[in-house]
Chains A and B, each alone.
Chain A
Protein backbone atom coordinates (compact mmCIF):
# COMPACT_ATOMS: atom_id res chain seq x y z
CA UNK A 1 0.00 0.00 0.00
CA UNK A 2 1.39 3.39 -0.95
CA UNK A 3 1.68 6.20 1.60
CA UNK A 4 -1.00 8.91 1.67
CA UNK A 5 -0.03 12.05 -0.22
CA UNK A 6 -1.28 15.60 -0.55
CA UNK A 7 -1.69 17.32 -3.90
CA UNK A 8 -0.03 20.76 -4.19
CA UNK A 9 -3.42 22.42 -4.75
CA UNK A 10 -4.50 24.81 -1.99
CA UNK A 11 -8.07 26.08 -1.64
CA UNK A 12 -9.46 29.02 0.33
CA UNK A 13 -12.71 30.94 0.65
CA UNK A 14 -12.72 34.49 -0.66
CA UNK A 15 -15.26 37.04 0.53
CA UNK A 16 -15.97 39.74 -2.00
CA UNK A 17 -18.77 41.72 -3.52
CA UNK A 18 -20.01 40.55 -6.91
CA UNK A 19 -22.78 42.25 -8.85
CA UNK A 20 -23.59 44.37 -5.81
CA UNK A 21 -24.00 41.49 -3.36
CA UNK A 22 -21.70 39.83 -0.86
CA UNK A 23 -20.38 36.43 -1.92
CA UNK A 24 -18.38 33.59 -0.44
CA UNK A 25 -16.31 32.12 -3.23
CA UNK A 26 -14.11 29.04 -3.29
CA UNK A 27 -10.75 29.68 -4.95
CA UNK A 28 -7.90 27.23 -5.40
CA UNK A 29 -4.46 27.48 -6.86
CA UNK A 30 -1.11 25.83 -7.38
CA UNK A 31 2.25 27.01 -8.65
CA UNK A 32 4.00 30.33 -9.09
CA UNK A 33 4.88 32.71 -11.88
CA UNK A 34 2.60 33.95 -14.62
CA UNK A 35 -0.98 33.98 -13.31
CA UNK A 36 -3.22 31.62 -15.28
CA UNK A 37 -6.89 32.08 -14.41
CA UNK A 38 -9.02 29.07 -15.39
CA UNK A 39 -12.80 29.07 -15.93
CA UNK A 40 -14.79 25.87 -15.60
CA UNK A 41 -17.63 24.74 -17.86
CA UNK A 42 -21.36 25.27 -17.32
CA UNK A 43 -22.73 23.27 -14.41
CA UNK A 44 -19.35 22.12 -13.12
CA UNK A 45 -16.57 23.46 -10.91
CA UNK A 46 -12.83 23.93 -10.37
CA UNK A 47 -12.15 20.21 -10.05
CA UNK A 48 -12.03 20.09 -13.83
CA UNK A 49 -8.58 21.72 -13.64
CA UNK A 50 -7.05 19.14 -11.27
CA UNK A 51 -4.73 17.73 -13.95
CA UNK A 52 -3.35 21.13 -14.85
CA UNK A 53 -2.78 22.15 -11.22
CA UNK A 54 -1.03 18.88 -10.46
CA UNK A 55 1.43 19.14 -13.34
CA UNK A 56 4.83 20.22 -11.99
CA UNK A 57 6.04 21.41 -15.38
CA UNK A 58 3.09 23.81 -15.66
CA UNK A 59 3.18 25.04 -12.07
CA UNK A 60 6.92 25.72 -12.26
CA UNK A 61 6.21 28.75 -14.45
CA UNK A 62 2.51 29.41 -13.97
CA UNK A 63 0.41 30.25 -10.95
CA UNK A 64 -2.72 28.31 -11.88
CA UNK A 65 -5.86 29.71 -10.26
CA UNK A 66 -9.47 28.60 -10.53
CA UNK A 67 -12.64 29.61 -8.71
CA UNK A 68 -16.03 28.02 -8.42
CA UNK A 69 -18.53 30.46 -9.84
CA UNK A 70 -21.28 31.51 -7.41
CA UNK A 71 -23.85 28.70 -7.13
CA UNK A 72 -21.20 26.15 -8.25
CA UNK A 73 -18.94 23.71 -6.44
CA UNK A 74 -18.09 24.98 -2.96
CA UNK A 75 -19.07 28.60 -3.68
CA UNK A 76 -22.37 29.53 -2.11
CA UNK A 77 -25.24 31.15 -3.91
CA UNK A 78 -25.91 34.67 -2.63
CA UNK A 79 -28.25 35.05 0.35
CA UNK A 80 -31.83 35.01 -0.86
CA UNK A 81 -31.15 32.45 -3.58
CA UNK A 82 -34.16 30.38 -2.62
CA UNK A 83 -36.51 32.91 -4.20
CA UNK A 84 -34.57 33.36 -7.44
CA UNK A 85 -34.04 31.53 -10.69
CA UNK A 86 -30.35 31.41 -11.53
CA UNK A 87 -29.64 32.82 -14.97
CA UNK A 88 -26.14 33.69 -16.11
CA UNK A 89 -25.69 36.58 -18.53
CA UNK A 90 -22.57 37.38 -20.53
CA UNK A 91 -22.22 40.72 -18.74
CA UNK A 92 -22.45 39.14 -15.28
CA UNK A 93 -20.05 36.35 -16.19
CA UNK A 94 -17.52 38.83 -17.48
CA UNK A 95 -17.92 41.18 -14.49
CA UNK A 96 -17.53 38.37 -11.95
CA UNK A 97 -14.39 37.02 -13.58
CA UNK A 98 -12.77 40.45 -13.71
CA UNK A 99 -13.76 41.11 -10.09
CA UNK A 100 -12.06 37.92 -8.96
CA UNK A 101 -8.92 38.79 -10.96
CA UNK A 102 -8.90 42.22 -9.29
CA UNK A 103 -9.54 40.81 -5.80
CA UNK A 104 -6.54 38.50 -6.24
CA UNK A 105 -4.50 41.43 -7.62
CA UNK A 106 -3.50 39.40 -10.66
CA UNK A 107 -1.12 41.27 -12.96
CA UNK A 108 -2.30 40.80 -16.54
CA UNK A 109 -3.14 37.14 -16.11
CA UNK A 110 -3.59 34.61 -18.86
CA UNK A 111 -7.25 33.60 -18.90
CA UNK A 112 -8.32 30.15 -20.08
CA UNK A 113 -11.95 29.10 -20.23
CA UNK A 114 -13.75 26.05 -21.54
CA UNK A 115 -17.18 25.87 -23.20
CA UNK A 116 -19.11 28.79 -21.68
CA UNK A 117 -15.67 29.84 -20.44
CA UNK A 118 -14.45 29.49 -24.01
CA UNK A 119 -17.24 31.79 -25.15
CA UNK A 120 -16.45 34.39 -22.50
CA UNK A 121 -12.79 34.12 -23.55
CA UNK A 122 -13.88 35.45 -26.95
CA UNK A 123 -15.81 38.24 -25.20
CA UNK A 124 -12.66 39.14 -23.25
CA UNK A 125 -10.69 39.18 -26.49
CA UNK A 126 -13.20 41.74 -27.82
CA UNK A 127 -13.72 43.86 -24.75
CA UNK A 128 -10.86 43.38 -22.29
CA UNK A 129 -7.77 42.68 -24.37
CA UNK A 130 -5.58 45.03 -22.31
CA UNK A 131 -6.40 43.20 -19.10
CA UNK A 132 -4.84 39.94 -20.19
CA UNK A 133 -1.42 38.69 -21.21
CA UNK A 134 -3.00 36.04 -23.43
CA UNK A 135 -6.39 34.40 -23.87
CA UNK A 136 -6.97 30.69 -24.36
CA UNK A 137 -10.40 29.43 -25.44
CA UNK A 138 -11.15 25.73 -25.16
CA UNK A 139 -14.19 24.51 -27.07
CA UNK A 140 -14.89 28.10 -28.11
CA UNK A 141 -17.70 28.94 -30.48
CA UNK A 142 -19.47 32.19 -31.26
CA UNK A 143 -22.89 30.56 -31.15
CA UNK A 144 -24.41 27.15 -30.55
CA UNK A 145 -26.84 24.86 -32.32
CA UNK A 146 -29.74 24.26 -29.89
CA UNK A 147 -29.95 20.56 -30.60
CA UNK A 148 -31.56 19.58 -27.30
CA UNK A 149 -34.34 20.75 -25.02
CA UNK A 150 -33.30 22.35 -21.69
CA UNK A 151 -36.57 21.73 -19.80
CA UNK A 152 -35.52 18.38 -18.37
CA UNK A 153 -32.28 19.62 -16.86
CA UNK A 154 -34.33 21.19 -14.06
CA UNK A 155 -37.65 19.50 -13.49
CA UNK A 156 -39.18 18.03 -10.33
CA UNK A 157 -39.79 14.70 -12.06
CA UNK A 158 -36.20 14.25 -13.27
CA UNK A 159 -32.99 13.99 -11.24
CA UNK A 160 -31.24 17.09 -12.52
CA UNK A 161 -27.75 15.92 -11.65
CA UNK A 162 -28.05 12.59 -13.41
CA UNK A 163 -29.87 14.10 -16.38
CA UNK A 164 -27.31 16.90 -16.80
CA UNK A 165 -24.46 14.40 -16.59
CA UNK A 166 -26.14 12.07 -19.07
CA UNK A 167 -26.83 14.93 -21.48
CA UNK A 168 -23.13 15.91 -21.55
CA UNK A 169 -21.69 12.40 -21.30
CA UNK A 170 -21.36 11.89 -25.04
CA UNK A 171 -19.41 15.10 -25.46
CA UNK A 172 -16.25 13.31 -24.37
CA UNK A 173 -14.03 11.22 -26.62
CA UNK A 174 -14.74 7.49 -26.35
CA UNK A 175 -10.99 6.99 -26.03
CA UNK A 176 -10.66 9.15 -22.89
CA UNK A 177 -9.88 7.12 -19.76
CA UNK A 178 -13.00 5.72 -18.15
CA UNK A 179 -12.13 6.92 -14.65
CA UNK A 180 -11.55 10.52 -15.80
CA UNK A 181 -14.76 10.53 -17.83
CA UNK A 182 -16.82 9.37 -14.86
CA UNK A 183 -15.03 11.83 -12.55
CA UNK A 184 -16.05 14.57 -14.98
CA UNK A 185 -19.65 13.33 -14.90
CA UNK A 186 -19.67 13.15 -11.12
CA UNK A 187 -19.07 16.91 -10.99
CA UNK A 188 -22.18 17.36 -13.14
CA UNK A 189 -24.19 15.04 -10.95
CA UNK A 190 -23.26 17.22 -7.97
CA UNK A 191 -24.34 20.48 -9.56
CA UNK A 192 -27.02 22.49 -7.77
CA UNK A 193 -30.58 22.27 -9.07
CA UNK A 194 -31.06 24.34 -12.22
CA UNK A 195 -27.48 25.59 -12.30
CA UNK A 196 -26.35 23.88 -15.51
CA UNK A 197 -29.50 25.10 -17.20
CA UNK A 198 -29.00 28.61 -15.77
CA UNK A 199 -25.45 28.76 -17.12
CA UNK A 200 -26.75 27.95 -20.57
CA UNK A 201 -29.09 30.95 -20.45
CA UNK A 202 -26.54 33.31 -21.97
CA UNK A 203 -24.79 30.60 -23.92
CA UNK A 204 -27.84 29.61 -25.93
CA UNK A 205 -29.63 32.96 -25.98
CA UNK A 206 -29.30 36.03 -28.15
CA UNK A 207 -27.12 37.57 -25.43
CA UNK A 208 -24.41 35.03 -26.14
CA UNK A 209 -24.41 35.00 -29.94
CA UNK A 210 -21.31 36.99 -30.82
CA UNK A 211 -20.80 35.96 -34.43
CA UNK A 212 -21.25 39.47 -35.77
CA UNK A 213 -18.86 40.95 -33.22
CA UNK A 214 -15.86 38.69 -33.78
CA UNK A 215 -14.29 41.19 -36.18
CA UNK A 216 -13.76 43.48 -33.17
CA UNK A 217 -11.07 41.13 -31.90
CA UNK A 218 -7.58 42.48 -32.48
CA UNK A 219 -5.06 39.75 -31.68
CA UNK A 220 -2.25 42.32 -31.81
CA UNK A 221 -3.59 43.70 -28.54
CA UNK A 222 -3.72 40.29 -26.91
CA UNK A 223 -2.82 36.92 -28.40
CA UNK A 224 -5.73 34.50 -28.72
CA UNK A 225 -5.37 30.73 -28.82
CA UNK A 226 -8.27 28.40 -29.54
CA UNK A 227 -8.12 24.64 -28.96
CA UNK A 228 -11.04 22.32 -29.68
CA UNK A 229 -11.40 18.59 -29.08
CA UNK A 230 -12.49 16.64 -32.14
CA UNK A 231 -15.26 14.65 -30.43
CA UNK A 232 -17.14 17.70 -29.19
CA UNK A 233 -20.44 18.10 -31.03
CA UNK A 234 -21.65 20.96 -28.85
CA UNK A 235 -18.78 23.11 -30.10
CA UNK A 236 -17.29 21.08 -32.91
CA UNK A 237 -13.97 21.83 -34.58
CA UNK A 238 -16.03 23.20 -37.49
CA UNK A 239 -17.81 25.58 -35.12
CA UNK A 240 -14.53 26.91 -33.74
CA UNK A 241 -13.13 27.12 -37.25
CA UNK A 242 -16.12 29.25 -38.27
CA UNK A 243 -15.26 31.66 -35.46
CA UNK A 244 -11.53 31.56 -36.16
CA UNK A 245 -12.16 32.43 -39.81
CA UNK A 246 -13.41 35.83 -38.66
CA UNK A 247 -10.45 36.58 -36.36
CA UNK A 248 -7.18 37.57 -38.06
CA UNK A 249 -4.12 36.36 -36.19
CA UNK A 250 -5.88 33.77 -34.04
CA UNK A 251 -4.08 30.47 -33.47
CA UNK A 252 -6.53 27.58 -33.71
CA UNK A 253 -5.83 23.90 -33.46
CA UNK A 254 -7.95 20.78 -33.24
CA UNK A 255 -7.16 18.34 -30.45
CA UNK A 256 -7.56 14.77 -31.74
CA UNK A 257 -8.98 12.20 -29.30
CA UNK A 258 -10.46 14.81 -26.97
CA UNK A 259 -13.97 16.13 -26.52
CA UNK A 260 -15.76 18.96 -24.74
CA UNK A 261 -13.93 18.62 -21.40
CA UNK A 262 -10.29 18.26 -22.49
CA UNK A 263 -8.67 19.27 -19.19
CA UNK A 264 -10.85 16.88 -17.20
CA UNK A 265 -11.65 13.91 -19.46
CA UNK A 266 -8.01 13.24 -20.35
CA UNK A 267 -5.67 15.64 -18.53
CA UNK A 268 -2.45 14.04 -19.76
CA UNK A 269 -3.41 14.23 -23.42
CA UNK A 270 -4.76 17.75 -23.00
CA UNK A 271 -1.49 18.91 -21.47
CA UNK A 272 0.39 17.65 -24.52
CA UNK A 273 -1.64 20.13 -26.61
CA UNK A 274 -1.59 22.95 -24.06
CA UNK A 275 2.08 23.01 -23.12
CA UNK A 276 3.32 24.41 -26.47
CA UNK A 277 0.76 27.22 -26.07
CA UNK A 278 1.94 27.97 -22.54
CA UNK A 279 5.56 27.88 -23.73
CA UNK A 280 4.74 30.42 -26.44
CA UNK A 281 3.03 32.67 -23.88
CA UNK A 282 5.98 32.40 -21.53
CA UNK A 283 8.40 33.23 -24.34
CA UNK A 284 6.45 36.42 -25.12
CA UNK A 285 6.93 37.48 -21.49
Chain B
Protein backbone atom coordinates (compact mmCIF):
# COMPACT_ATOMS: atom_id res chain seq x y z
CA UNK B 1 0.00 0.00 0.00
CA UNK B 2 1.30 3.41 -0.91
CA UNK B 3 0.79 5.87 1.88
CA UNK B 4 0.17 9.44 0.84
CA UNK B 5 3.11 11.70 1.49
CA UNK B 6 2.83 13.63 4.72
CA UNK B 7 1.74 17.17 3.94
CA UNK B 8 4.34 19.74 4.86
CA UNK B 9 2.58 22.78 6.26
CA UNK B 10 5.32 25.27 6.86
CA UNK B 11 5.33 27.68 9.77
CA UNK B 12 2.74 30.45 9.19
CA UNK B 13 5.36 33.14 9.65
CA UNK B 14 3.72 35.56 7.25
CA UNK B 15 1.14 36.15 10.00
CA UNK B 16 3.61 36.24 12.92
CA UNK B 17 3.54 40.00 13.26
CA UNK B 18 -0.24 40.00 13.71
CA UNK B 19 -0.14 36.98 16.02
CA UNK B 20 2.47 38.66 18.22
CA UNK B 21 0.74 42.01 18.43
CA UNK B 22 -0.74 42.70 21.88
CA UNK B 23 0.31 39.31 23.25
CA UNK B 24 0.49 39.64 27.03
CA UNK B 25 3.27 37.08 27.52
CA UNK B 26 5.50 38.65 24.88
CA UNK B 27 4.97 42.00 26.58
CA UNK B 28 5.76 40.47 29.98
CA UNK B 29 8.95 38.71 28.92
CA UNK B 30 10.20 40.91 26.08
CA UNK B 31 11.29 43.97 28.00
CA UNK B 32 14.15 45.71 26.20
CA UNK B 33 14.64 42.93 23.66
CA UNK B 34 16.19 43.64 20.31
CA UNK B 35 16.77 40.52 18.25
CA UNK B 36 17.37 39.53 14.65
CA UNK B 37 16.17 35.94 14.51
CA UNK B 38 16.44 33.49 11.65
CA UNK B 39 13.83 30.77 11.63
CA UNK B 40 14.61 27.92 9.28
CA UNK B 41 11.69 25.85 8.02
CA UNK B 42 13.27 23.13 5.94
CA UNK B 43 15.17 24.87 3.16
CA UNK B 44 13.36 28.15 3.70
CA UNK B 45 14.80 30.81 6.00
CA UNK B 46 12.80 33.69 7.48
CA UNK B 47 14.22 36.76 9.21
CA UNK B 48 12.23 38.04 12.19
CA UNK B 49 13.23 41.48 13.45
CA UNK B 50 12.26 42.41 16.99
CA UNK B 51 12.74 45.84 18.51
CA UNK B 52 11.91 46.69 22.14
CA UNK B 53 10.08 43.38 22.36
CA UNK B 54 7.87 44.10 19.33
CA UNK B 55 7.97 42.08 16.11
CA UNK B 56 8.48 44.86 13.59
CA UNK B 57 9.33 42.96 10.42
CA UNK B 58 9.19 39.42 9.07
CA UNK B 59 11.03 38.73 5.81
CA UNK B 60 10.66 35.54 3.78
CA UNK B 61 13.81 34.09 2.26
CA UNK B 62 15.90 33.53 0.33
CA UNK B 63 17.88 35.99 2.42
CA UNK B 64 21.09 37.57 1.16
CA UNK B 65 23.81 37.67 3.82
CA UNK B 66 21.47 38.65 6.67
CA UNK B 67 22.89 40.04 9.90
CA UNK B 68 21.50 37.85 12.70
CA UNK B 69 21.78 37.19 16.43
CA UNK B 70 20.16 33.79 16.61
CA UNK B 71 19.27 31.01 14.20
CA UNK B 72 16.77 28.22 14.91
CA UNK B 73 16.31 25.71 12.11
CA UNK B 74 14.38 22.46 11.83
CA UNK B 75 12.90 20.23 9.15
CA UNK B 76 9.40 21.09 7.97
CA UNK B 77 8.17 17.68 9.19
CA UNK B 78 9.40 18.58 12.67
CA UNK B 79 7.66 21.96 12.62
CA UNK B 80 4.45 20.31 11.38
CA UNK B 81 4.38 18.18 14.52
CA UNK B 82 5.35 21.14 16.70
CA UNK B 83 2.33 23.01 15.33
CA UNK B 84 -0.22 20.35 16.34
CA UNK B 85 -2.66 21.66 18.97
CA UNK B 86 -1.37 18.99 21.37
CA UNK B 87 2.05 18.10 19.96
CA UNK B 88 3.49 14.64 20.64
CA UNK B 89 6.25 14.29 23.26
CA UNK B 90 9.60 15.32 21.84
CA UNK B 91 8.02 17.85 19.47
CA UNK B 92 6.14 20.01 21.98
CA UNK B 93 8.94 22.44 22.91
CA UNK B 94 12.08 23.90 21.34
CA UNK B 95 14.26 22.26 24.00
CA UNK B 96 12.47 18.94 23.53
CA UNK B 97 13.43 19.17 19.87
CA UNK B 98 16.96 20.05 20.93
CA UNK B 99 17.20 16.99 23.19
CA UNK B 100 16.39 14.76 20.23
CA UNK B 101 18.59 16.77 17.83
CA UNK B 102 15.63 17.85 15.74
CA UNK B 103 16.48 21.55 15.85
CA UNK B 104 19.66 23.43 15.20
CA UNK B 105 20.22 26.31 17.63
CA UNK B 106 23.14 28.65 17.02
CA UNK B 107 24.11 32.23 17.68
CA UNK B 108 23.93 34.36 20.81
CA UNK B 109 22.91 31.75 23.38
CA UNK B 110 23.20 34.27 26.21
CA UNK B 111 20.56 36.42 24.56
CA UNK B 112 18.42 33.38 23.88
CA UNK B 113 18.68 32.28 27.53
CA UNK B 114 17.79 35.72 28.82
CA UNK B 115 14.71 35.87 26.60
CA UNK B 116 13.83 32.20 26.34
CA UNK B 117 10.25 32.64 27.57
CA UNK B 118 9.73 35.25 24.85
CA UNK B 119 11.26 33.08 22.14
CA UNK B 120 9.29 29.99 23.17
CA UNK B 121 6.10 32.07 23.21
CA UNK B 122 6.83 33.44 19.75
CA UNK B 123 6.92 29.92 18.35
CA UNK B 124 3.89 28.78 20.38
CA UNK B 125 1.89 31.64 18.82
CA UNK B 126 2.25 29.90 15.46
CA UNK B 127 -0.04 27.07 16.64
CA UNK B 128 -3.65 27.28 15.53
CA UNK B 129 -5.82 29.08 18.06
CA UNK B 130 -2.92 30.15 20.25
CA UNK B 131 -2.87 33.81 19.30
CA UNK B 132 -5.66 36.17 20.27
CA UNK B 133 -8.13 36.41 17.38
Q: Which residues of A contact B (CB under 8 A)?
A: 145, 147-149, 152-153, 155, 157-159, 162-163, 165-167, 169-171, 173-175, 230-234, 236
Contact = CB atoms under 8 A, between A and B. Distances in A.
B92 A170 contact: yes
A145 B99 contact: yes
A166 B117 contact: yes
Contacts of B114: 152, 157-159, 162-163
Nearest to B112: A152
A230 B92 CA distance: 12
A241 to B, nearest CB: 14
Nearest to B92: A174
* Chain A interface, DSSP helix/strand/loop, else mixed: loop
Contacts of A174: 86-87, 92
Contacts of A233: 89-90, 93, 95-96, 99-100
Contacts of B29: 162
Contacts of B109: 149, 152
Contacts of B93: 169-171, 233
Contacts of A230: 89
Contact of A152 (B96, B100, B113): B113
Contacts of B116: 162-163, 166-167, 169
B110 interface: yes
18 contacts: A147-B95, A148-B95, A152-B113, A157-B110, A158-B110, A162-B117, A163-B113, A166-B116, A166-B120, A169-B116, A170-B92, A170-B95, A170-B120, A171-B93, A174-B92, A230-B89, A232-B89, A233-B90
Nearest to A146: B99
Interface string B97-124: 0111000000001100110110010000
- Which 5 interchain pairs have the tightest Cβ spacing? A170-B93, A152-B113, A166-B116, A147-B99, A233-B99
Interface in B57-100: 86-87, 89-90, 92-96, 98-100
B117 A165 contact: yes
Contacts of A159: 114
Contacts of B117: 162, 165-166, 169
Contacts of A170: 92-96, 120
| Residue among B89, B94, B114 facing the most chain A CB atoms (10 A cut-off) | B89
Contacts of A149: 109
Given A169-B117, A169-B120, A231-B92, A147 B86 contact: no
